[in-house]
Amino acid sequence: PDLRTYSSLLDGLCKDGKTGLAHALWHQYLQSGLEPDVRMHNILIHGLCSVGKLDDAMNVLASMEHRNCVANLVTYNTLMEGFFKVRDSNRATVIWGYMYKIGLQPDIISYN
């Protein structure tokens, strides 16, 4: 299987709320020696945020930096939304500030 196949499987598992299986698939993908792209990271981050696993989502963000995979506006918007859903406006604000620091311009989704 290639990146597209793994991304599709990961997306389906996350949408079904099966983040444990999604995480297992993620680790299988990494162990195969393939490198995930920003979209694949975002799929997992979104899935984790959807079920309130914000610390795990932040760990995925950190792993992106280790892999030299540049997070994008979708990544940060997803994390901010996740933090606001669990009423953690402090961490959402930290994400917002970091976005500005690295030069990402917010879009309409960022403001909503």
CATH superfamily assigned to domain 3-111: Tetratricopeptide repeat domain (1.25.40.10)
Whether pLDDT at 1 is above 90: no
pTM, two decimals, is 0.92
* Nearest alpha-carbon partner for 7 in 31, 34, 79: 34
Mean pLDDT within 14-31: 93
CA distance 14 to 47: 5
DSSP secondary structure of 42-111:
HHHHHHHHHTT-HHHHHHHHHHHHHTTPPP-HHHHHHHHHHHHHTT-HHHHHHHHHHHHHTTPPP-HHHH
The letter for the amino acid at 85 is K
Average pLDDT over residues 9-37: 93
Q: Which two tokens stand for residue 44?
A: 């997992």
Residue 106: per-residue pLDDT: 84
- At 109 the pLDDT is 82
37-95 pLDDT per residue, tens:
999 999 999 999 999 999 999 999 999 989 999 999 999 999 999 999 999 999 999 99
Every domain of the chain and the residues it spans: 3-111
